[in-house]
């Protein structure tokens, strides 16, 4: 009798192969279109008097847009690539082949319009980056000494046991925290507070969906109220600082009423869509404020920073200068050490830096003005221009990161507003920033949405339904504000 041994055939993961193929196709599209654009003679492009440098930057811009939209690589990796390509292809210290050309007489000449390499590297040291570093340091210190969870516990207790009241308190506290902390960290914290309820109440209880969805909605909206609440706000400030001295309090005067109105609408909407069958919920709240000297330093620094941000006109330090204060205090006292520094959301900083680099290049090379002037906006009503830009921004933010959306659209919006005499740059950029933060239809639209979806208690159709209504309501409120301001 002969023993027949069958060769073991390796099992191929069809799903992994399929995902790899999709990624390769996305990469091919993302790099293929810009490379084709570079191969087209500059004179044949549909822009008047486009320079060689502007031609290259246009290809880099399209590459960034495709990579951010298709996401075959992490979004922060795209930002690093953008900065690298700008330094190599557009700067005065790039490759020789990109800096000189042969004039046909065996002589080389400098290509005009090259950027100083320091201007590109300045994206890493932008005040916007420092502003986020300050915000991240506050969040890390608050989490390390349980200031966030203990404060949330204290603030939720007065809202009692009625589901509607608990949801209102949950939304108000979530929005408040997301004004000064990462909306992702805020969502994690608030969903953890809901944990006991989510586990004890039957999954068929419709009102649970309202509670879970109230957290990401509030986290997404709350960030609109302050310059550090969400990256699109900070990106808008980068362009506004050249013409307007917009302080932390100035932004809150505009953003906070907008957030309050939308939160009230969201609270009403969630109760209508997902009503509770009972009239009582029991929150299990606990925890005590720590009393160590480090915890006291955190409490005092947190309060002082917010006070300084809201009173820049009294002490003379702007928002960016104030942002470095908590980082200095926490590192000097050892509250934030080497391990805590690793917790900073460096991917967000890289993503923002890439957008800043694109904005700098679009401005320095003049490509933003060329793109803005490609359409004769002077024959269009200012209101129509803002409405179109706002809607496009909101639509994009539902499918890609709102930071990536702001990075792509903000420099174009700034150039368009500058080219129109009857269009305020302030109004345009504030509208674009708010519209970017309203994109919350899909689980992948924002990290808070993804976290809420991961609980398994809400379906994507529930999120899409609420996100669509909230987005359209937010846009309607923005448009009403525009009519008042214009």
Note the pTM of the prediction, 2 decimals. Answer: 0.73
Let me know: does 163 contact 279? Beta carbons within 8 Å. yes
Determine the 3-state secondary structure of 265 from DSSP.
Answer: helix
Let me know: does 327 contact 305? Beta carbons within 8 Å. no
Sign of CA dihedral 276, 280, 282, 288: positive
Let me know: does 295 contact 145? Beta carbons within 8 Å. yes
Let me know: does 296 contact 141? Beta carbons within 8 Å. no
- CB within 8 Å of 40: residues ≥ 6 apart: none
- CB within 8 Å of 48: residues ≥ 6 apart: 370
From first to last of its 486 residues, what are the pLDDT tens digits of the chain? 344 444 444 544 677 888 889 999 999 999 999 999 999 998 888 877 888 999 999 999 899 888 887 888 888 898 899 999 999 999 989 998 888 876 555 556 678 889 999 999 998 888 878 877 888 888 888 888 878 777 777 777 777 778 888 889 889 988 998 888 778 778 877 777 776 666 666 667 788 889 899 999 999 999 999 888 888 888 888 888 767 777 888 888 888 999 999 999 999 999 999 888 777 766 665 667 788 899 999 989 988 988 888 787 788 888 788 889 999 999 999 999 999 888 888 887 888 888 888 888 888 888 877 876 777 666 778 888 888 888 888 988 887 778 878 888 888 888 888 877 767 788 888 899 999 999 888 776 787 887 788 777 888 888 889 999 999 999 999 888 877 766
H/E/C letters for each residue in 304-322?
HHHHHHCCHHHHCCCHHHH
Let me know: does 412 contact 371? Beta carbons within 8 Å. yes
In what helix (H) or strand (E) does residue 101 lie, and over which residues does it extend?
strand 100-102
Determine the 3-state secondary structure of 13 from DSSP.
Answer: coil
Determine the 3-state secondary structure of 311 from DSSP.
Answer: coil
Let me know: does 194 contact 218? Beta carbons within 8 Å. no
C-alpha dihedral (86, 91, 95, 99), degrees to nearest 10: 120
Where would I find the H helices in 106-162? 117-121, 127-144, 147-156
């Amino acid at each position: 009798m002969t023993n027949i041994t069958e060769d073991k055939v390796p099992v191929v993961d069809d799903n992994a192969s399929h995902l790899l193929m999709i990624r390769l196709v996305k990469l091919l599209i993302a790099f293929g279109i810009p490379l084709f654009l570079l191969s087209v003679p500059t004179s044949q492009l549909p822009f008047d008097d486009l320079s060689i440098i502007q031609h290259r930057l246009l290809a880099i811009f399209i590459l960034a847009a495709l990579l951010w939209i298709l996401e075959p690589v992490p979004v922060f990796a795209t930002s690093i690539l953008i900065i690298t390509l700008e330094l190599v292809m557009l700067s005065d210290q790039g490759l020789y082949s990109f800096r000189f050309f042969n004039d046909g007489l065996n002589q080389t000449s400098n290509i005009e319009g090259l950027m100083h390499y320091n201007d590109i590297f300045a994206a890493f040291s932008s005040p916007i980056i420092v502003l986020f570093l300050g915000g991240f340091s506050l969040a890390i210190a608050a989490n390390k000494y349980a200031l966030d969870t203990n404060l949330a516990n204290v603030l939720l207790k007065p809202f009692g046991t009625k589901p509607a009241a608990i949801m209102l308190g949950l939304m108000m506290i979530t929005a408040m925290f997301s004004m000064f902390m990462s909306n992702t960290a805020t969502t994690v914290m608030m969903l953890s507070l809901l944990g006991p309820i989510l586990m004890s109440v039957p999954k068929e209880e419709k009102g649970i969906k309202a509670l879970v969805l109230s957290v990401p909605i509030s986290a997404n909206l709350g960030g609109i109220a302050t310059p550090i609440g969400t990256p699109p706000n900070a990106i808008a400030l980068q362009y506004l600082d050249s013409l307007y001295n917009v302080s932390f309090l100035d932004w809150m005067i505009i953003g906070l009423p907008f957030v309050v109105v939308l939160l009230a609408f969201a609270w009403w909407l969630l109760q209508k869509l997902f009503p509770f069958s009972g009239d009582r919920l029991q929150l299990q709240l606990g925890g005590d404020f720590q009393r160590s000297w480090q915890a006291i330093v955190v409490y005092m620094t947190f309060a002082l920073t917010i006070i300084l941000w809201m009173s820049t006109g009294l002490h003379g330090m702007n928002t960016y200068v104030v942002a470095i204060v908590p980082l200095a205090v926490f590192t000097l006292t050892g509250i934030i050490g080497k391990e805590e520094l690793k917790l900073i959301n460096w991917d967000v900083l890289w993503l923002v830096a890439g957008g800043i680099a694109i904005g700098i290049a679009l401005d320095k090379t003049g490509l933003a003005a060329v793109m803005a002037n490609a359409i004769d906006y002077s024959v269009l009503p200012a209101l129509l221009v803002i409405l179109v830009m706002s809607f496009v921004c909101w639509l994009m933010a539902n499918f890609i990161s709102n930071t990536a959306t702001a990075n792509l659209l903000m420099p174009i919006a700034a150039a368009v507003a500058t080219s129109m005499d009857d269009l305020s740059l302030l109004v345009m950029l504030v509208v674009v920033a708010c519209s970017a933060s309203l994109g919350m239809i899909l689980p992948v639209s924002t990290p808070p949405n993804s976290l809420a979806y991961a609980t398994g208690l809400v379906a994507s159709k529930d999120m899409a339904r609420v996100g669509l209504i909230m987005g359209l309501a937010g846009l309607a409120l923005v448009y009403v504000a525009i009519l008042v301001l214009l």
